[in-house]
Amino acid sequence: MKVAGHPRRRPTTAVWALVVAAATALLAWVRIGSPARGVAWAEDSGRFLTDRLALGPVRSLWHPYDGYLHVLPRLVVDAAVALGRIDLYALSVSAMSCAVLGGVCGVVFVLSRGVVRAWPLRVLLAAVPALVPLAPVEIAGNAANLHWYLLFAAPWLFAHRPRNWWSSACTTAAVAVVTTSEIQAAVFLPLLLLGPRNRRVLPVAAAAVLGVAAQVTVTLTHPRSATHQGGITSFRDMTAGFLAQVVGGSWDADVRVVGAAVSAHGWWVVAVPGLLLLAAVVTAGVLADRRTRWMILASAVGAGVVWYAALVVNRTTGTTWSAFTAAAWASSAPLRYAAAASMFLTAAVVLAADVFLARVRWPWRAAGGVLLVASVVAFVAGPGAVPRREDGPQWSAEVEQRAPYCAAHPHDSVRIGAMPRIAGWDATVPCAMVEQAVGRSGR
């Protein structure tokens, strides 16, 4: 006998987006590990925190650093300072950075609704930033590298066509944050022209153009410092590095293992998979509908731009990969650009898998299944990433050690250690903040 009543309501897209965001944020937090979560990384201490303490929350927000604006990382640092517990600063930044990563995953889940047909693949695509093997090495869980995750969301935000003014306002705000935090988002500006035109896109386009214009202005008026002294890497070496660090690193985060395989068996061990992935992505782009084709292209271009442009601009030393010996491979380490490029490469593969699985004929579906299985296996079998800051000084312990000195010298400042252990990354913190934190903790 049926009981009359209201039909059961299914969870909305927003609810599922929150679930995806929370799950990926938690996953990123777990993958970073306990020691690394409590260690401050690079700009988080030596630049963003220093600027915040010297300039205040407003002036520091728009303060150029190394030729760019970094609005969202500075907002995260400002929020961590506003908590009033400088002893928990590193932990707070790690937590909020993981939350931002989760937010990006939730946004991609929502905005990929009209592109990815199969919902499991949509979840997988959205979770890519939290799943790629290389992420915990350097870019996950710190404000200094949040811009890579914002860049991952950029093409989806630019290609989105808001259906109402509320959606337009939210997209505009997100685009403003992305473009004022990551200059490379300019690469995806052509996606603003994708799809039907409507008035609700105008604020989004205006925010994108103004944000990129602000970045370009800062780059011209406050050029990057001359700290990058290496020579420009040859195209051959950059391509070899892409195969080893991006293609190989998407399977195994320990690039020394990838290098050992290259040294023992030759470049074919990464070149063949790279060519197969390229063929799959290109084929999927041909078979896909117009919008999906553009998103596949954006993901593939994103992988290349992140890698090649970063090496050219930063003039990274030790990048003669094509001439690496076994000893050179054994001492090599993954670059943060590889993790960012890996996100885009993996996204392109997931999109290609969805295109193939939607075809009627079984050979296409088989190809899609192979891509899907390969992606999942890489996520499960290749997470051997060791965070570079894992062995660094614990921020809270450093603050506690300085507390007796601050009690005796309340108007002085103390230096708090961070990673990497090179000049410029430690922070100078007023003793008043140390005393406030000790008082609040009850010690």
3-state secondary structure 393-404: CCHHHHHHHHHH
pLDDT of res. 424: 84
| 252 φ, ψ (degrees, to nearest 5) | -140, 120
pLDDT of res. 194: 82
CA 410 to chain centre: 39
pLDDT of res. 1: 46
pLDDT of res. 146: 97
For tokens 């961590």, the residue is 80
What DSSP letter does each residue of 201-269 carry, written as one string? GHHHHHHHHHHHHHHHHHHHHSPPPTT--SPPPPHHHHHHHIIIIIITTTT-S-HHHHHHHHHHH-THH
Radius of gyration over every alpha carbon of the chain, rounded to an integer in angstroms: 23
pTM of the prediction?
Answer: 0.93
The C-alpha atoms of residue 307 and residue 312 are separated, in whole angstroms, by 9
Which residues, in sequence order, are CB contacts of 402 under 8 Å at separation 6+? 414, 416, 429, 431, 434
Q: pLDDT per position in the chain (443 positions), as tens?
A: 444 555 555 568 889 999 999 999 999 999 999 899 999 999 999 999 999 999 999 999 999 998 999 999 999 999 999 998 999 999 999 999 999 999 999 999 999 998 999 899 999 999 999 999 999 999 999 999 999 999 999 999 999 999 899 999 999 999 999 999 999 999 999 999 887 778 999 999 999 999 999 999 999 998 877 555 556 789 999 999 999 999 999 988 888 999 999 999 999 999 999 999 999 999 999 999 999 999 999 999 999 999 999 898 887 777 889 999 999 999 888 899 999 999 999 999 999 999 999 998 989 999 999 999 999 888 886 656 789 999 999 999 999 999 999 999 999 999 999 999 888 899 999 999 998 887 766 66
